[in-house]
């Protein structure tokens, strides 16, 4: 490793954020990481913030500002070392290790999520699906993820060290399932069920409402039709 490359790595190794980081910032860090994954796969060694922004339709000033929350990443006259920056963004986002995930609900959505290969590629391992229907318990998804009885959730979470739960059940069951998840000690939840869910302050929930997204797209199409009239 070149001398300036070593200095760059040392500059942001074991750094804490300089100030509280917003969720919008962490969302952008995820975007930067995906861009860096692409560059690394293409064999690109270094890139400037401006070139990164131009190639992926991002904002160069925003990139520099977001990264500055965690220290000095770039090297003057060189830019960013792609492989090293990618490695440290993975550390910052906590995906430099395997994170085990449980999916609550073995319906069509739950099964599809369990077998999505992109999760494993990014460090998320689906440990189990959970359901209440006897005919499903003991079966496996097409990709081999076991479907377990939800009554075993608490001990499975401990045994398998599950850190994140994905809720993919009907809206009427979501609150009860979320309570079971929280009671099992899980502190991070991705919710695909419609409606707001209440959780204790030490539990983080991110909701994905597919209907809202489709309605937003429908609005876009409707506005285009209005403009054409």
Residue 136 belongs to domain with CATH number? 3.40.50.720
- Answer yes or no: do 131 and 191 share one domain: yes
- Answer yes or no: do 161 and 70 share one domain: no
What are the two backbone dihedrals, phi and then psi, of residue 166, each rounded to the nearest 5 degrees?
-110, 125
- Answer yes or no: do 71 and 164 share one domain: no
As a dihedral over the C-alpha atoms of residue 13, residue 19, residue 25, residue 29, rounded to 10 degrees, the angle is 0
Determine, yes or no, domain membership for 227: no
- Answer yes or no: do 84 and 123 share one domain: no
Spatial distance between the Cα atoms of 220 and 154, rounded to a whole number of angstroms: 44
- Answer yes or no: do 126 and 60 share one domain: no
- Answer yes or no: do 67 and 109 share one domain: no
Three-point CA angle 133, 186, 181, nearest 5°: 30
Query: What pTM did the predictor assign?
Result: 0.79
Determine, yes or no, domain membership for 87: yes
Quick one: CA dihedral 223, 224, 228, 229, positive or negative?
Answer: negative
Tens digit of each residue's pLDDT, the chain (229 residues): 444 444 444 444 444 554 578 889 999 999 999 999 999 999 999 999 999 999 999 999 999 999 998 888 888 888 999 999 999 999 999 888 899 999 999 999 999 999 999 898 888 999 999 999 999 999 999 999 999 999 999 999 999 999 999 999 999 999 999 999 999 999 999 999 887 888 999 999 999 988 888 999 999 999 876 665 5
Q: How many CB atoms lie within 10 A of CB 174?
A: 22
Long-range contacts of 202-205, Cβ-Cβ distance < 8 Å, separation of 24 or more: 205/178
Residue 88 belongs to domain spanning? 3-93
- Answer yes or no: do 110 and 201 share one domain: yes
Determine, yes or no, domain membership for 228: no
Spatial distance between the Cα atoms of 62 and 73, rounded to a whole number of angstroms: 14
List b or e across 42-81, with b for residues whose CB sees 16 or more CB atoms inside 10 angstroms. eeeebbbbeebbeeeebeeeebbebbebbbebbbeeebbb
Determine, yes or no, domain membership for 108: yes
Determine, yes or no, domain membership for 180: yes
Output the pLDDT for position 58.
95
CA 182 vs. chain centroid, Å, equals 19
Task: Quote the number of domains for the chain.
Answer: 2
Helix (H, G, I), strand (E, B) or coil at 188: strand
The length of the chain is 229
The H or E element that residue 147 is part of is: strand 147-149
Pairing of strands 46-47, 80-81: antiparallel
Determine, yes or no, domain membership for 158: yes
- Answer yes or no: do 43 and 117 share one domain: no
The CATH number for 63's domain is: 1.10.10.10
List residues bridging with 79 in a β-sheet: 75
Output the pLDDT for position 112.
96
- Answer yes or no: do 66 and 136 share one domain: no
- Answer yes or no: do 123 and 173 share one domain: yes
Output the pLDDT for position 157.
97
- Answer yes or no: do 80 and 104 share one domain: no
């Amino acid at each position: 490793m070149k001398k300036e490359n070593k200095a760059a790595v040392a500059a942001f190794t074991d750094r804490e954020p300089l100030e509280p980081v917003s969720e919008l910032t962490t969302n952008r860090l995820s975007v930067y990481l995906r861009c860096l994954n692409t560059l690394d796969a293409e064999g690109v060694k270094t890139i400037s913030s401006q070139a990164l922004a131009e190639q992926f339709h991002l904002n160069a000033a925003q990139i520099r500002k977001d990264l500055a929350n965690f220290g000095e990443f770039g090297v003057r006259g060189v830019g960013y070392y792609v492989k090293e920056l990618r490695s440290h963004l993975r550390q910052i986002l906590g995906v430099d290790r395997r994170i085990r995930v449980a999916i609550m609900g073995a319906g069509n959505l739950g099964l599809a999520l369990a077998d999505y290969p992109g999760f494993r590629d990014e460090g998320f391992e689906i440990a189990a699906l959970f359901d209440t229907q006897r005919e499903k318990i003991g079966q496996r998804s097409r990709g081999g993820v076991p479907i377990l009885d939800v009554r075993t959730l608490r001990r499975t979470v401990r045994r398998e060290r599950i850190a994140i739960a994905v809720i993919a059940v009907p809206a009427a069951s979501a609150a009860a399932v979320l309570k079971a998840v929280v009671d099992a000690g899980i502190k991070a939840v991705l919710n695909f069920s419609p409606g707001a869910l209440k959780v204790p302050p030490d539990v983080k929930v991110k909701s994905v409402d597919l209907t809202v997204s489709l309605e937003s797209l429908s609005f876009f199409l409707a506005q285009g039709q209005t403009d054409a009239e």
